[in-house]
Structure 1
Amino acid sequence: MPLAKPIRTDRRKRHAANARDRVVKLKGDIFHSTAILCEFLYYAFNAILGLREVYPKQDFKWEKRYDIHLPMLIDPDLKGYLTRVTTQLKPWLETKSVTRIVLALVSKETRETVERWQFDVRTTAEQAAHEAAPQAAPAAADQAQFEPVARSDHDMQAEALQIFRQIFSSVTFMPALEPDQCLFTILSYVDKAAEVPAGWNQSDPYVISATADQVPIHGLTTSVYKLVPTVTYCATQHDDGDDDQ
């Protein structure tokens, strides 16, 4: 392939330098965004398990994070499991291979899913296109994916606090769960080409087969990602409780 003229070579060098600067910045954004999401999910999993009393109250200690006190598991095996899950999410998030994370609560007695805490993962470009459609032109969405959104740690901490407040509020009107009534499992929706380590395998989606209600929860936006939580819960459980009274 013939060499380019010197002036074009110089210009390309400048462009290449700019591209390298941009790649370094974008990678930094991805790593920071990934760390923010993984930490948030670790605390969210703990909080949900504690607030929904999947384990007895004495199995939790309260820890202040995001300017709010959250229940945190004490058992080292359970803590280790949640740590392994969120640690594995890091490479999937960094390569944009994961689109959804689900914490499912399953009845020990019936083996049916009674609650499904879902966290959809979108890039900020995908979220912008989702919110603007159909008004936005396709070219705008294509351009947006190269423009990370500037987000301060203070803004993200404030959004995380808002999510936890909404989780606290949600559990006040959801059907009560008895300690040791449910098991939990965590699912990750990843691309088919994503590398899956040992210990992870193909899974049932753990959808709720009975009549269900769904509550959207405020999202968390980083410079690269938008985390969109929702909780779906079995509505018939509450009705059955009323009939027994």
Structure 2
Amino acid sequence: MTSIAQKSKGAITLKGSAEILCEYLDFGINSILFQRGLYPPEDFKPMENYGLTILMSQNNQIKEFLSVTLSQLKDWLVKRIVDKVALVITNVNSFEVMERWDFKVEYEGDSNQDGGQTSDKPLKQIKHEIRDVLKQIASSVAYLPLLDCLCAFDIQIYMKDDVNLPKDWSDTDAAHVKNAQTVKMRSFSTNIHRMDTCVTYKNED
């Protein structure tokens, strides 16, 4: 009897892997905005995902900003040209960087497959890994210093190569935190992309 190997119908594609990362970032960034008190609690609505209740912003400007940013990011992740994504929190009055959340990207597997690259890693296992990271983000308020000033946020995307930036995008300087302390969190992997999360904050000591 001849044995025939067949790819699982549930295999994750390169595009699907990029979508998983962007979904994580959407929930992760919203969780940070809520946990760090950048916007009033009443602006957020609970949503269930990854076996967790995550508070998501209902502010239309934030939703639109994240939607446009993550849509572009997805395309760049498929092209394997993103090094990391940074959520930068700054003091509105002094422009000092108070906190930076880095989401570092590594590319796994055979890059020569281009768009045909797939992963057989179970989605359930990936979501479990993501849940563990989101739980760490939620508990980070226990050690992060209070943001006792009016703050704003922006998203920076670090690229591997020079790319022609779309309209409304611009080059910017890296955001550095003074007297920095960094805490690394768990990572997760789709076996196509791996994402490491860490937070760098201003150490007041």
- Structure 2 residue 178 is the aligned partner of structure 1 residue 190: no
Alignment-derived partner of residue 180 in structure 2 = 212
Q: What is the rounded CA distance, in whole Å, between the counterparts of 2:29 and 2:111 in structure 1?
A: 31
Query: What is the TM-score with the length of structure 1 in the denominator?
Result: 0.74
Cα offset, 1:193, TM superposition: 3.6
SS at structure 2 position matched to 1:110: coil
SS at structure 2 position matched to 1:83: helix
SS at structure 2 position matched to 1:111: coil
Alignment-derived partner of residue 130 in structure 2 = 160
Aligned residues: 195
Range that drifts further, 57-66 or 45-54: 57-66
Q: 1:206 to 1:152 in 2, by over 3 A?
A: same
Cα offset, 1:150, TM superposition: 3.0
Q: What is the rounded CA distance, in whole Å, between the counterparts of 1:50 and 1:96 in structure 2?
A: 30
Cα offset, 1:43, TM superposition: 0.9
Q: What is the rounded CA distance, in whole Å, between the counterparts of 2:164 and 2:51 in structure 1?
A: 36
Q: What is the rounded CA distance, in whole Å, between the counterparts of 2:183 and 2:162 in structure 1?
A: 32
Q: What is the rounded CA distance, in whole Å, between the counterparts of 1:149 and 1:38 in structure 2?
A: 17
Q: What is the rounded CA distance, in whole Å, between the counterparts of 2:42 and 2:147 in structure 1?
A: 16
1:137-176 paired onto structure 2 within 5 Å:
150-176=120-146
Larger Rg belongs to:
1
Alignment-derived partner of residue 191 in structure 2 = 223
Paired amino acid for 1:168: A
Alignment-derived partner of residue 61 in structure 1 = 45
* Matched-pair identity in %: 28
Which structure has more helix as a fraction of its residues? 1
Paired amino acid for 2:47: E
- Structure 2 residue 20 is the aligned partner of structure 1 residue 36: yes
- Structure 2 residue 192 is the aligned partner of structure 1 residue 233: no
Residues 14 and 118 in structure 2, CA contact (< 8 A), matched pair in contact too: no
Cα offset, 1:211, TM superposition: 0.9
Cα offset, 1:192, TM superposition: 3.0
Flag the structure with more relative contact order, 1 or 2, with Cα contacts below 8 A and sequence separation at least 6.
2
Residues 106 and 113 in structure 1, CA contact (< 8 A), matched pair in contact too: yes
Q: Which runs of 5+ in 2 are unaligned?
A: 1-6
Q: Cα RMSD over matched residues?
A: 2.3
Range that drifts further, 184-193 or 44-53: 184-193
SS at structure 2 position matched to 1:168: helix
Q: What is the rounded CA distance, in whole Å, between the counterparts of 1:73 and 1:108 in structure 2?
A: 20
Q: What is the rounded CA distance, in whole Å, between the counterparts of 1:69 and 1:234 in structure 2?
A: 29
SS at structure 2 position matched to 1:218: strand
Paired amino acid for 1:192: D
Q: 1:205 to 1:63 in 2, by over 3 A?
A: same
Cα offset, 1:148, TM superposition: 5.9
Alignment-derived partner of residue 63 in structure 2 = 79
Query: What is the TM-score with the length of structure 2 in the denominator?
Result: 0.87
Which structure has more strand as a fraction of its residues? 2
Q: Which runs of 5+ in 1 are unaligned?
A: 1-21, 126-142, 240-245
Alignment-derived partner of residue 107 in structure 1 = 91
SS at structure 2 position matched to 1:55: coil
